[in-house]
Amino acid sequence: MIAVALGAYLLAVLWHLVYLVRAARSAPPREFASMSIACGLVWLPIALGWATWLVATGRMADLGDVTAPLLAGAAAQILFGAMSFLMPTVMRGGPAAVRAGMVEMNRLAAFRLVLVNAGLTVFLAPGGTSWTRVVGSLLAFVGFVLFLPVMIRAVRAQLRVIRAAAAAREAGEKPARVTADTARAEIAPGRRRNLVGALAALLVAALATGTVLAVDPSSPLRRTDGSAAVTPTGNTTTVEVVAVGMRFEPSTVTVPVGDRLVIELRNDDETTVHDLYLANGVGTGRVEPGETARVDVGVVGRPVEGWCTIAGHKAMGMTFDVQVEGDDPAGGGAGGGVGGAAQDPRAAGHDGHSGAGDDAASPTDAIDVLSPPSDDVETRDPVLPPAPPGREHRVSLTVRETTDELAPGVVRPVWTYNGGLPAPTLRGRVGDTFVVTFRNEGTIGHSIDFHAGDVSPDEVMRTIPPGEELEYRFTVKRAGAWLYHCATAPMSGHVAAGMFGALIVDPPELPEVDREYVLVQSEAYLGGDDEPFDMDKIAARRPDLVMFNGHATQYRRDPLTARVGETVRIWVVAAGPSDGTSFHVVGGQFDTVYKEGAYRLRDGRDAFGGSGGGAQALDLAPSQGGFVEMTPAEPGRYVFVDHSFADAEKGATGFLDVSD
């Protein structure tokens, strides 16, 4: 019934157009108002015919495609044409005033109309790319927006004539006598002016479209694999894809060769942003939880690979494949149409990475881990203050995505709590309560997991989307050097990006010492300049940098300090995400070792009462923590390192300067 009704409406419009065409043949439209309405009446049957065909063939889901020709092509042009005639008429003021307004309303008439209609044509052209549609929409938008300055000029011109006539009447002047020989401004632009305006608009549209086709990797002009040879069928295959649980469902779709493919992506994750990027260069952009985005892949003639570009999501399994079935009737075969990874340089690697093999040079090869940090880098204070007074501690931790230097000259995006790397070190005593207000001011979902809290993770450790916050309350029941970190998948990526910190809970009767420091060791897996990490390197456990407190060389420039005979306590937490540490001070020995909530040595005495013992290293697996104490007997520069020397040579070193 809907198709029948649309068909009847279409026939009525066409019947009406017959009379309008006859009138136009005897008096061709030359003014903006009549030309704009004429253009709108051309688009109206096109839109109605398209809609009728879609409904008749059962493709109701594609009716959205008719929006542009119906609203912009028909309705908007008819509206602007009518307004161009009615506004000067309604303002009145006499024939001279109306004529002045009409003259201005017709400025750039052909240029504006051709810009709008050329833009719509580019936007709707079969086989277009996402960028050609952007160009087409911008051309049409500019054509419509030009109505505003033209309208303002028309109003001003008409008001000038009205005011001049009023002033003449007040002065007692009689209006000039109008005869057949009186010179009057021509309302309609001349044919030559219209022709020049139309050609100028066509040139603008051609240059803009040609430029985009030349640089867009999904453009037929950029295809070198014979993809332009595929014969479009004229059919559109629309598929619904759901992003949920680090997966696309379905993860594979099959499309007849030559069909245009449209993907509607719905993000069903409650807290996590996703997107879908195709190897031919088109994508949805970021899709917030609960929202839907649509991407026109173009005419498909060969398999296309896709993935989520949010950092780490592809490595977690968010990949998508477009397969084709059938042969191209023109002989292009599966080699035609939108094509696979080779068309887009981003397809060479994952999440924007280079995809280089094991033989490629590591970024570490270009990093001098013996050089000082850049002059504008502020050294993270390693001094650990005493636990604050009171038994309840209120803390605010806010996710901020920023950039930071990780080693000399190595600046990368980092994900942080409160903007620092590492996150703030917290401290308390057994029995203290922490009330943490956790806010997410990032661009994707994040969370927080306090190892010191003995609580159910369901509510307080859940991922929250950007703009939300939660309260995380827990009481520390046991002493130790505890890690806290982001628990959002992929956890390895979020921790590697900087989302970690330490919470120190003092053992009962912990004695005061002369110097007390805290070092949080972590690894960095460098991706591209705009990537916080590289999931391939994380999976292969190939860190580029290993750092104390977020920078590879800061404590070589600004050493820890002590005096001879002072007791120095150094807390160490291994944040990982995947490697631990063997913490050692060159030239020093530890008489006290505390690890994972228990003393291994205390003033040289072991757990069995033996005395005179010492330790050379504090070994910690990922997420473990503890402290060591030493009393330097001689002045000098002591080097503290991760005694896994491969890690030390990637930055896990620093100086302890001891003076007399």
* 253 and 148 inside one domain: no
Cα 97 from Cα 506, distance rounded (Å): 87
- Please give the pLDDT value at position 362: 47
Q: pLDDT by residue (tens digit) across 13-34?
A: 888 888 888 888 888 888 888 8
Q: Is residue 13 part of a domain?
A: yes
Q: Is residue 361 part of a domain?
A: no
Q: Domain boundary at 121, 137, 171, which?
A: 171
Q: How does strand 592-595 pair with strand 598-602?
A: antiparallel
Q: Rounded to 5 degrees, what are φ and ψ at 271?
A: -130, -15
**121, pLDDT greater than 80:** yes
If we measure between CA atoms, which residue out of 307, 323, 327, 324 comes closest to residue 315? Answer: 307
Under 8 Å between Cβ of 464 and 397: no
Q: Is residue 51 part of a domain?
A: yes
* 477 and 597 inside one domain: yes
**350, pLDDT greater than 70:** no
If pLDDT is split at 50, 70 and 90, which confidence band does 312 have?
confident
Under 8 Å between Cβ of 412 and 531: yes
Q: pLDDT by residue (tens digit) across 220-276?
A: 555 544 445 578 888 889 999 999 988 999 999 999 998 989 999 999 988 888 999
Q: pLDDT by residue (tens digit) across 93-102?
A: 888 888 888 8
**364, pLDDT greater than 70:** no
- Please give the pLDDT value at position 185: 53
Q: Is residue 208 part of a domain?
A: no
Under 8 Å between Cβ of 392 and 433: yes
Least confident among 277-291, 418-432, 449-463, 607-621: 277-291
* 23 and 150 inside one domain: yes
- Please give the pLDDT value at position 58: 74
* 34 and 157 inside one domain: yes
- The structure's pTM equals 0.61
Under 8 Å between Cβ of 338 and 297: yes
Cα 434 from Cα 423, distance rounded (Å): 16
Note down the domain range covering 412: 392-658
If we measure between CA atoms, which residue out of 307, 265, 316, 268 comes closest to residue 289? Answer: 268
> Has 486 been labeled as part of a binding site?
yes
- Please give the pLDDT value at position 370: 82
Give me 455's structure tokens: 């609580």
If pLDDT is split at 50, 70 and 90, which confidence band does 127 have?
low
- Please give the pLDDT value at position 170: 84
- Please give the pLDDT value at position 493: 94
* 413 and 519 inside one domain: yes
Q: Domain boundary at 309, 325, 341, which?
A: 325
For 171-306, where are the alpha helices, taking DSSP H only? 191-215
> Has 494 been labeled as part of a binding site?
yes
* 561 and 468 inside one domain: yes
* 164 and 254 inside one domain: no
- Please give the pLDDT value at position 250: 93
Determine how many CB atoms are found less than 10 A away from the CB of residue 280.
31
> Has 35 been labeled as part of a binding site?
no
- Please give the pLDDT value at position 361: 40
* 272 and 402 inside one domain: no
Cα 516 from Cα 570, distance rounded (Å): 6
Cα 545 from Cα 531, distance rounded (Å): 15
If pLDDT is split at 50, 70 and 90, which confidence band does 356 have?
very low
Give the contacts of 342 (CB within 8 A, at least 6 positions apart): 225
* 536 and 629 inside one domain: yes
- Please give the pLDDT value at position 180: 53
What is the percent of the chain where pLDDT is above 70?
Answer: 88
Q: Is residue 147 part of a domain?
A: yes
Q: Domain boundary at 154, 171, 188, which?
A: 171
How many domains are there within the chain? 3
Is the bond preceding residue 422 a cis peptide, omega within 30 degrees?
yes
If we measure between CA atoms, which residue out of 400, 415, 426, 573 comes closest to residue 490? Answer: 415
Under 8 Å between Cβ of 515 and 381: no
> Has 499 been labeled as part of a binding site?
yes
* 472 and 571 inside one domain: yes
Most confident of 50-54, 343-347, 640-644: 640-644
* 545 and 421 inside one domain: yes
Q: Is residue 509 part of a domain?
A: yes
Residues 34-42, mean pLDDT to the nearest whole number? 91
More confident residue, 182 or 152: 152
Residues 63-83, mean pLDDT to the nearest whole number? 90
- Please give the pLDDT value at position 327: 58
**523, pLDDT greater than 80:** yes
CATH number, position 299? 2.60.40.420
Q: For residue 262, list its beta bridge partners.
A: 238, 296
What's the CA angle centered on 339, arms 333 and 344, to 5 degrees? 155
Q: Is residue 380 part of a domain?
A: no
Crossing angle for the helix pair 32-56 and 109-124, to the nearest 10 degrees: 10
**What is the chain's mean pLDDT, rounded?**
87
If pLDDT is split at 50, 70 and 90, which confidence band does 330 have?
very low
- Please give the pLDDT value at position 345: 41
Q: Is residue 384 part of a domain?
A: no
E strands, 5-101, are: none
Cα 437 from Cα 397, distance rounded (Å): 6
Q: pLDDT by residue (tens digit) across 177-209?
A: 555 554 455 677 778 888 898 899 999 999 998
Q: pLDDT by residue (tens digit) across 494-509?
A: 999 999 999 999 999 9
- Please give the pLDDT value at position 365: 55
* 240 and 167 inside one domain: no
More confident residue, 532 or 64: 532
Q: pLDDT by residue (tens digit) across 208-217?
A: 988 888 876 5
Q: pLDDT by residue (tens digit) across 469-488?
A: 999 999 999 999 999 999 99
Sign of the dihedral through C-alpha 395, 399, 402, 406? positive
Residues 585-594, mean pLDDT to the nearest whole number? 96
DSSP string over 315-366: TTT-EEEEEEES--TTS-GGGSSB--GGG-GGGGSSTT-----TTSPPGGGG
- Please give the pLDDT value at position 171: 84
DSSP-derived letter for residue 488 is S
Residues 541-563, mean pLDDT to the nearest whole number? 96
Sign of the dihedral through C-alpha 168, 169, 174, 180? positive
